[in-house]
Structure 1
Amino acid sequence: MSQQTTIRKLAELVNTPVEKLLEQLAGAGMKFSGPEQVVTSTEKVKLLGFLRRAHGKPEQAVEEATEASKKITLNRRKHQEVTVNAGRSKTTVNVEVRQKRTYDKAAARMTPDEERADILRKLEESRQRNLDEQAALAEKDRLRDEAIVRKREEEVAAKERAEAEKKAAEEAAIAAKAAEAAAASRPAAARPAADAAPAAARAARPPAGGPSAPPRGAAPPRSDDRNNRSPARTDRPGGDRFAGQMHLSAADRARRGNSNNNNNRGRPGSRPQPGRRDSRGSQNSGPHAFERPTAPVVREVAIGDSITVADLAAKLALKGGEVVKALFKMGVMATITMSIDHDTAALVTEELGHVVVRAGNDDVEEALLAATGEERGEAVSRPPVVTIMGHVDHGKTSLLDYIRRTKVATGEAGGITQHIGAYHVETPKGVISFLDTPGHAAFTSMRARGAKLTDIVVLVVAADDGVMPQTKEAIQHARSANVPLIVAINKIDKSGADPMRVKNELLTEQVVSEDFGGDIQMVEISAKAGLGIDDLLEAISVQAELLELKAVADGRASGVVIESSLDKGRGPVATVLVQQGSLKKGDYLVCGIQYGRVRALFDETGKQPDQAGPSIPVQVLGLSGVPEAGDDFVVVEDERLAKDVAQQRETKRRESRLVQSAGSRMEDIMATLGKGEGQQVLNLVIKADVQGSVQALSQALVGLSNDDIRINVIHSGVGGITESDANSAVASKATVIGFNVRADASARRIIESNGVDLRYFSIIYDVIDQVKQVASGLLGVEIREEIIGIADVRDVFRSSKFGAVAGCMIVEGIVKRNKPIRVLRDSVVVFEGELESLRRFKENVDEVRNGTECGIGVKAYNDVKPGDQIECFERIEVPRTL
């Protein structure tokens, strides 16, 4: 079949009536007026994809067919005869030569108008990124220096405080010992006379648990017993042996005599020595004499959420080994330094005969609640928070694009929303805040978080696709959060649209339209053409009026974190949604286990508002670290309270993690031993650009574990891959996954020298698919991206033909003109495309090697800056092994 043919010839070749072929072309979005029109190869491929989707074949099959249509294979045969001399006779042999060659067809070129529109779109995208990056580079060095100085000051202050506390404790202990020694060495005459009679009575009574007096009639001791022999008379002071006690009263002399007799009881022949105090007698005599308790002591032990075995033993006044032994009898294997949870500690405490009391260690949290509850004004009306939810490629982001009049999906990898986007827009119906959630199955937690933050959920369903798995999941999230639902039936302008089918499918999910007597508003829209958008905004406004949404606009702000990331220039950046009060620059706030002072506020357009009221999402700079998505934040009076709350929360979280990793039960150990060594462990180190992607990747990959292989995420975080991440991967033999981030130079050296498996991804589908194939034991080939060269941009020149031309030095590998490239800025991907020109001096070249200067023109991207890196890579097929 030729490269171009008419509709009539195509119908004859595929044995289909012309009228039916015209209907199929119209269904695929291509309208032809007559059978004599020419059909190009691109239109044939589009028709083939439409027919495969209509017959239920997966999208992957369509892509494979598209790739196959770009290739042509030629088979050739050549026959000839060869004469062979076999001795005296000659033999003729027929030889057939077969050749098979595959050629790639030239890609169809875009029309000038399409090419211009594509260039304008990419220029708008680069301009939008420029605005964000200029604000980021302004405070890069200052914030970094302030963070270093603040950290050092905190370390010095903590060290001085610890030394002062230690010194004070030592002085108190010395003072206490000195007081006890002074009380013990004080003469008996100086004691109150009122204590003489009780002391004499106690001295006459034998000490509890002490040795008893010899029975009556026992034989006297031997006179040659050197241990009990009294001192020689020459060593005694002159006069009577009681001369040293003549100044004492009779009661005091009786008490001292009885005390000496008690101390010498059981040692016949011994005599008290005048002027000398028996050290053993001082412990069991006097008003502070020790008496063994007659009944077991029952203590009330205060236990928090977790406690170490050593601390529990100290509260029980027992040795640590006894508590460890009791835990072992209960089936819990733990050492003295491990932490155990509250329930386990309560059981072992009751087993040892003591009473458990819940420890009240939330004093700082109570102070926080008291501080935040002081200032509350009058509630006023606030804008509604609307979450856009639905399946992949059903038009969620396109709907927001039309409302906001900007392009968002073009900046996402593969046109798929990877993060939660937060925007507030001015509409004819008033201010509305929108949250755009991803539709992929791995972002379940992000969609659930979006449903909990919102007032109204707009469920987008494609009229030509119907109800899909993520559509059902979004309905469940909205119901669990008890949030009203509005259904937007999108893509009604397409030829295969059937809104009634969507309404019937939603009936099976108990979502009943108002047309069918239900209470769910369903609006038919077209996000591309703008049809029905006003009706949708009207439905949102009506629903918001019914809810009577109100919030306190004055006072200290509180809200929740929607998304967070680590920017190399600006530091930790958190996108928050204010729910109460007004958030202003300079406020102190505590956010999960992080705290800080608001240094700057940014809205979705990059502007810096003075404050943010209820239902307004903003980006916050100035936190001590990257908070987790979904954490609550609250503004406090001073930094001291914020720091105390954050530190206490961090301590609790660390203790809970220690409890989870400590104290294995013997049943679990025996079960592990019973399985043998058949289960393999795949360790992963995950780094991503935002916190939401980290959570989604970790949950999705850990969920792939089965009986044969276990996926273990040993470390995850936000930002580029650092030297610490590389060392963690080397120590645990883990695979490093970079999602929209890259490794720095020091991390690459460690990874290359130790042979660590490092993989870069920009779409979550690829991450899950590759890990899923390894975990499922599927062998085959995988498409892997291999970096073949890196060029540093030294300067940028302007060309009338190619736009911005980057003067580069090749620092690694080789850069080829026909290979795809990425532009990196601060180890983060900012553009992915291809080269438009590669020149060495004034000549066009196909490749440039390491250590060579060259000029590079990036196609459809004019935002290259000095200091950027251009990464050249190729996709190769690598055999998959476990």
Structure 2
Amino acid sequence: MSYVTVRQLADVVGTPVGRLLEQLREAGIGVNGEDETITEEQKLQLLQYLRHSPGANADIAMPKKITLKRRSHSEIQVNASGGRSKVISVEVRKKRTYIKRSVILEQEQKRLEESKARGYQEEEDKQVIQEQIQPHTQQEQTRQFITETVEEELKHQAEEGLKHQAEEEKKSKLSSEEDKPDRFIGRKGKPRHAVGDWEFNDKEQQESKSSRKELHIAPGKPSSKRKKLRPKKPMLIPKHGFERPIAPIVREVSVPRTTTAAELAQKMSVKAAEVIKTLMNLGIMATINQSLDQDTAIIIVEEMGHKPKRLQENLLELELAQSEQKEGKEISRAAVVTVMGHVDHGKTSLLDYIRRAKVAAGEAGGITQHIGAYKVRSGRGETTFIDTPGHEAFTAMRARGAKVTDIVVLVVAADDGVMPQTIEAIQHARAAGAPIVVAINKIDRPNADPDRVKQELANHEVITEEWGGDTQFVSVSAKTGEGIDSLIEAILLQAEIMELRASPEGSARGVVIESRLDKGRGPVATVLVQSGTLRKGDILLSGIETGRVRAMLTESGYEIVEAGPSTPVEIIGLSGAPNAGDEAIVISDERKAREIAEFRQAKEREAKLVRQQSAKLENMFSEMGEGEVRVLNLIIKTDVQGSAEALSDALAKISTNKAKVKVVASGVGGINETDVNLAVASNAIIIGFNVRADATARRSITEKGIDLHYYGVIYDAIDEVKRALTGMLDPEYRENIIGLARVDDIFRSPKFGAIAGCLVIEGTIRRNSPIRVLRDNIVIFEGQLESLRRFKEDVQEVRSGTECGIGVKDYKDIKVGDQIEVYERVKIEIVL
């Protein structure tokens, strides 16, 4: 059974939708809107009603003419001069107009009535017209017109060939002079060129026939001056296709969190100028592409008479949180331990001894530059260790490590004590709500003092169990291995007290510890699984990146097929390198994962655009107030995402109000030609941290003279950027007044002119220093000393309380009572 909507039926029969709805209701068919469907039975019911209701559908508009166009191409091969053949392309165009039979009959009826009035009526023609007139309803005529026209056209195209078309066209043109009564309604009944209730129109031939009757042209005596009659092209009677709506259309407009005037206009099917006009009436000056908040957009939609619908943009996120979370039976899991402490206190060396591997040997400068996650197996169970760098620039990275941890091992050197980063580690552990186990390292050194460490930690409310506190203190030596077993027992004891459990069933959830771009493997992310089981082939979503897990590797490089809770693994197969700290979750539907990733990307772009606009305004007002600010543009490329964030944050902190560091771009991976082109466009310096430039990039750097620096230790990069930033600033000088002399008398010298006899009242007068001449404490001259004498001898300096003669270079208007101020300029060292 076929169904059509009321709108579709109205388009087919050519009647307004409102009128058709009224007829349906009058016929007893219950429909409420133009989008509701009706069946074939309901259409027949409507047809019966219209047939028995004369004049009910007289106002239904329907076409009276239809024009069919046909175009065909063929080739004709003719003999050209020289015995060669030539191919000529022939294009045949045909155009036929079919007029409704009832219209033609009405025209003939009208013409016969006019002829009757003049006395030329013919009974035979009248009889023919009456035989042809048959009652037809408008619905039957429309259906017959569409069906028979299409069938006749398809049949005609199939039977008639290209050559036959060209011949018929030629015959049609030659025979246009002769009258052919059988082309119209005549004695033979149905016309030759007719389709259903429609007939071919040749008005000019009809006029020729009627004119022959009126002029009484004798047959057999054609006029020599008679012109050939060419049939005119048939034309359809024009009909306006616009139907005025009977009521205003109210649309339901979905309003997102941010939108533009152009998007609102498109959803409401109005011009953007109307939306701008409404905004101006409300006192809001906005452009067509300016972002509008959700509340403003809702007011605009309501003002324009439509129904707003607040779009909940985080619906996908809510569905994700509800659908993918599956509860299962929980089992015991390994504890996640984070090793924290000050730089060079032995965190990595301690972990190396536990893992029986030398991680520090592969780190530049002997410090850890990345977050590393390792799973250590002992006789009493498994423990997952997360090693965080101790340098101050990696504060954010240590904070991310504290978020995912269960237990914090605070490493303090016995010979160094509590340092600033030790205090930061304590604060991060408390913010995460994780218990602390203190490892007092380097007890093998002769100047080790564990009691001092306990006392300093007690000042920060980290009190050992020996003193009545709740924190375990273990003395260890990463070099000799002393106390390592006791430390592991303390960690496992703390884990048993916490009763750590997780469900291995359901979709895996975890957190990204670190990510990087590998040249051979692409984006690689270190993920710590927190619940569920991650399997090879799962669809993983992390931040704005998604992809299918193609491979999972352990910290030792072995490939595994699944990973349970508290297991760190390296994931290969994501679309990009996610940010460290992003949540990673397995989603069953790949399409849904892509939609969420695209939604997050759009939100990130919008937030970035808002930040850029606010930053531009802030910069504009700050530059207006402070004057010109020197900017050092940097492009940072690192081996992992965490290093890029840490280096960018550390460099941003050394900016001042006169010189600023602007990170144009930062990313993970080697330096390529795109980075070089960006450096040229932005006049930036490229910093490579544990990465190198490829061959193409090195060639471009040499050709374009880009400043490129490689670093392996983060504080080396920070120190060199400080020096570069200092070199950009103009040197600053401070003036120090070193002496002041009072003019008591004026002497004349034939060689130097006016000489001021002075008494030094403050400091020292030096010969090679710049001076100022003061009169009534107002500077009237700045210059140099031309001569400095005591009695008749030239001297280099004169101290306070001593008389001297001073000659001022290029100034002779010195008077008694003036003061001569001697000063020096001292360059100020710029410290960032």
TM-score (norm 1): 0.54
Change in CA separation of 1:302 and 1:400 when aligned onto 2, cut-off 3 Å: same
Counterpart of 1:101? none
Counterpart of 1:421? 372
Q: Secondary structure at the match of 1:627?
A: coil
**Structure 1 stretches of 5 or more lacking a match?**
1-174, 202-235, 241-245, 249-275, 782-878
Query: Following TM superposition, by how much is the alpha carbon of 1:633 offset from its aligned partner in structure 2, in angstroms?
Result: 1.6
Query: What does 1:321-336 correspond to in 2, within 5 Å?
Result: 321=273, 323=275, 335-336=287-288
C-alpha distance in structure 2 between counterparts of 1:474 and 1:648, whole Å: 35
Is 1:647 paired with 2:478? no
Aligned mate of 2:346, from 388, 395, 402: 395
Counterpart of 1:13? none
Does the CA-based 8 Å contact 1:331-1:665 persist in structure 2? no
Counterpart of 2:272? 320
Query: What does 1:104-253 correspond to in 2, within 5 Å?
Result: 180=11, 183-184=14-15, 192=50
Does the CA-based 8 Å contact 2:510-2:529 persist in structure 1? yes
| Residue identity opposite 2:662 in structure 1 | N
Query: What does 1:84-99 correspond to in 2, within 5 Å?
Result: none
- Rg larger for: 2
Aligned mate of 2:423, from 472, 476, 497: 472
| Residue identity opposite 2:677 in structure 1 | N
Aligned mate of 1:557, from 487, 508, 511: 508
Is 1:734 paired with 2:684? yes
Change in CA separation of 1:667 and 1:411 when aligned onto 2, cut-off 3 Å: closer
Query: Following TM superposition, by how much is the alpha carbon of 1:308 offset from its aligned partner in structure 2, in angstroms?
Result: 3.7
C-alpha distance in structure 2 between counterparts of 1:476 and 1:596, whole Å: 36
Change in CA separation of 1:358 and 1:711 when aligned onto 2, cut-off 3 Å: farther
C-alpha distance in structure 1 between counterparts of 2:570 and 2:541, whole Å: 15
Query: Following TM superposition, by how much is the alpha carbon of 1:436 offset from its aligned partner in structure 2, in angstroms?
Result: 0.3
Query: Following TM superposition, by how much is the alpha carbon of 1:178 offset from its aligned partner in structure 2, in angstroms?
Result: 11
Counterpart of 1:20? none
C-alpha distance in structure 2 between counterparts of 1:498 and 1:507, whole Å: 15
Counterpart of 2:393? 442
Counterpart of 1:163? none
Aligned mate of 1:607, from 550, 558, 567: 558
Change in CA separation of 1:578 and 1:724 when aligned onto 2, cut-off 3 Å: same
Does the CA-based 8 Å contact 1:456-1:483 persist in structure 2? yes
Counterpart of 2:567? 616
Is 1:698 paired with 2:648? yes
Query: Following TM superposition, by how much is the alpha carbon of 1:641 offset from its aligned partner in structure 2, in angstroms?
Result: 3.9
C-alpha distance in structure 1 between counterparts of 2:57 and 2:709, whole Å: 83
Does the CA-based 8 Å contact 2:10-2:16 persist in structure 1? no
Q: Secondary structure at the match of 1:438?
A: coil
Counterpart of 1:79? none
Q: Secondary structure at the match of 1:501?
A: helix
Is 1:433 paired with 2:384? yes
348-357 or 414-423: which moved more? 348-357
Counterpart of 2:254? 302
Change in CA separation of 1:548 and 1:346 when aligned onto 2, cut-off 3 Å: farther
Aligned mate of 1:715, from 665, 674, 677: 665
C-alpha distance in structure 1 between counterparts of 2:627 and 2:400, whole Å: 39
Deviation digits for residues 698-721 of structure 1 (CA, Å, limit 9, x no counterpart): 222233333223332222211111
Counterpart of 1:135? none
Query: Following TM superposition, by how much is the alpha carbon of 1:441 offset from its aligned partner in structure 2, in angstroms?
Result: 1.3
Does the CA-based 8 Å contact 1:340-1:659 persist in structure 2? no
Change in CA separation of 1:196 and 1:630 when aligned onto 2, cut-off 3 Å: farther
Deviation digits for residues 824-871 of structure 1 (CA, Å, limit 9, x no counterpart): xxxxxxxxxxxxxxxxxxxxxxxxxxxxxxxxxxxxxxxxxxxxxxxx
Counterpart of 1:680? 630
| Residue identity opposite 1:537 in structure 2 | I
| Residue identity opposite 1:472 in structure 2 | I
Query: Following TM superposition, by how much is the alpha carbon of 1:776 offset from its aligned partner in structure 2, in angstroms?
Result: 5.3
C-alpha distance in structure 2 between counterparts of 1:365 and 1:770, whole Å: 44
Deviation digits for residues 521-569 of structure 1 (CA, Å, limit 9, x no counterpart): 2222222222222222122112111111001123432211111111111
Deviation digits for residues 495-516 of structure 1 (CA, Å, limit 9, x no counterpart): 3222232223223323233233
Aligned mate of 2:458, from 507, 510, 520: 507
Query: Following TM superposition, by how much is the alpha carbon of 1:354 offset from its aligned partner in structure 2, in angstroms?
Result: 7.5
Query: Following TM superposition, by how much is the alpha carbon of 1:306 offset from its aligned partner in structure 2, in angstroms?
Result: 3.1
C-alpha distance in structure 2 between counterparts of 1:290 and 1:351, whole Å: 21
Aligned mate of 2:312, from 360, 377, 392: 360
C-alpha distance in structure 2 between counterparts of 1:478 and 1:523, whole Å: 18
Does the CA-based 8 Å contact 2:637-2:688 persist in structure 1? yes
| Residue identity opposite 2:636 in structure 1 | I
Query: What does 1:6-45 correspond to in 2, within 5 Å?
Result: none
C-alpha distance in structure 2 between counterparts of 1:658 and 1:360, whole Å: 21
| Residue identity opposite 1:734 in structure 2 | A
C-alpha distance in structure 2 between counterparts of 1:328 and 1:709, whole Å: 42
Does the CA-based 8 Å contact 1:581-1:613 persist in structure 2? yes
Q: Secondary structure at the match of 1:515?
A: helix
Does the CA-based 8 Å contact 1:463-1:492 persist in structure 2? yes
Q: Aligned residues, how many?
A: 548
Deviation digits for residues 93-130 of structure 1 (CA, Å, limit 9, x no counterpart): xxxxxxxxxxxxxxxxxxxxxxxxxxxxxxxxxxxxxx
Does the CA-based 8 Å contact 1:437-1:447 persist in structure 2? yes
**Structure 2 stretches of 5 or more lacking a match?**
1-5, 24-46, 60-109, 115-132, 136-235, 732-828
Counterpart of 2:693? 743
Is 1:378 paired with 2:329? yes
Aligned mate of 1:588, from 539, 542, 550: 539
C-alpha distance in structure 1 between counterparts of 2:482 and 2:713, whole Å: 31
Does the CA-based 8 Å contact 2:414-2:449 persist in structure 1? yes
C-alpha distance in structure 1 between counterparts of 2:54 and 2:622, whole Å: 70
Change in CA separation of 1:473 and 1:305 when aligned onto 2, cut-off 3 Å: farther
Counterpart of 2:143? none
Does the CA-based 8 Å contact 2:659-2:725 persist in structure 1? yes
Change in CA separation of 1:667 and 1:355 when aligned onto 2, cut-off 3 Å: farther
**What is the root-mean-square deviation of aligned Cα atoms in Å?**
4.6
Q: Secondary structure at the match of 1:629?
A: coil
Aligned mate of 1:574, from 508, 525, 529: 525
Q: Secondary structure at the match of 1:648?
A: helix
Q: Secondary structure at the match of 1:692?
A: helix
Query: What does 1:247-326 correspond to in 2, within 5 Å?
Result: 289-290=244-245, 301-315=253-267, 319-321=271-273, 323=275
Q: Secondary structure at the match of 2:541?
A: strand
C-alpha distance in structure 2 between counterparts of 1:740 and 1:476, whole Å: 30
Change in CA separation of 1:655 and 1:501 when aligned onto 2, cut-off 3 Å: same
TM-score (norm 2): 0.57
Aligned mate of 2:714, from 764, 769, 780: 764
299-308 or 604-613: which moved more? 299-308
C-alpha distance in structure 2 between counterparts of 1:558 and 1:358, whole Å: 31
C-alpha distance in structure 2 between counterparts of 1:327 and 1:513, whole Å: 67
Query: Following TM superposition, by how much is the alpha carbon of 1:450 offset from its aligned partner in structure 2, in angstroms?
Result: 0.3
532-541 or 719-728: which moved more? 532-541
Query: Following TM superposition, by how much is the alpha carbon of 1:298 offset from its aligned partner in structure 2, in angstroms?
Result: 8.7
C-alpha distance in structure 2 between counterparts of 1:472 and 1:306, whole Å: 43
C-alpha distance in structure 2 between counterparts of 1:665 and 1:400, whole Å: 44
Counterpart of 1:457? 408
Change in CA separation of 1:554 and 1:672 when aligned onto 2, cut-off 3 Å: same
C-alpha distance in structure 2 between counterparts of 1:716 and 1:333, whole Å: 36
C-alpha distance in structure 1 between counterparts of 2:282 and 2:478, whole Å: 63
Q: Secondary structure at the match of 1:614?
A: coil
Query: Following TM superposition, by how much is the alpha carbon of 1:195 offset from its aligned partner in structure 2, in angstroms?
Result: 10
C-alpha distance in structure 2 between counterparts of 1:706 and 1:344, whole Å: 39
Change in CA separation of 1:465 and 1:779 when aligned onto 2, cut-off 3 Å: farther
Deviation digits for residues 716-739 of structure 1 (CA, Å, limit 9, x no counterpart): 211111111111221222211111
C-alpha distance in structure 1 between counterparts of 2:282 and 2:612, whole Å: 18
Change in CA separation of 1:704 and 1:462 when aligned onto 2, cut-off 3 Å: same
Change in CA separation of 1:184 and 1:346 when aligned onto 2, cut-off 3 Å: closer
C-alpha distance in structure 2 between counterparts of 1:665 and 1:247, whole Å: 81
C-alpha distance in structure 2 between counterparts of 1:449 and 1:291, whole Å: 63
Change in CA separation of 1:199 and 1:565 when aligned onto 2, cut-off 3 Å: same
